[in-house]
Amino acid sequence: MVNLIFIIAFIVTLIDRVTKYVFFENSSLNKGAAFGILQGYNWLFISIAVMVIMAVIIYRNNKNYILGMGLLLGGTLGNLIDRIFYSGVIDFISLSIIPSFNIADLANTIGAILIIYEMHKD
């Protein structure tokens, strides 16, 4: 049976890819990390993404982290695809108070928060 983490990751990656395709005309390319820092270090972000993917695969059977790791894996895959094919991340959601982002960024943030919460929950 396919692990639930991979199903969640597939859904997140699919939604991320579809939305980037639909909103491509209104998007921007971020060649750095969050807030545009570390421009030009695409190889570093690809390496980190591979390490995150490996960590999720290794710890995939920990039931407490299923949703968080599924979101993190899906978001990481979505942005990794961008980094490989576009040498940056396609951002299309723009709110006046924060820099542009995408569905993968949102999934990564929520996934990380859920994992941290589970780690510190008593």
List active site positions: 91, 105
What is the maximum span of the chain, computed from C-alpha positions, in angstroms? 46
Contact 108, 79 (CB under 8 A): yes
**Cα–Cα distance, 83 to 6 (Å, whole number):** 21
Q: Where are the alpha helices (DSSP H) in 1-122?
A: 4-22, 42-58, 66-86, 103-120
Contact 8, 74 (CB under 8 A): yes
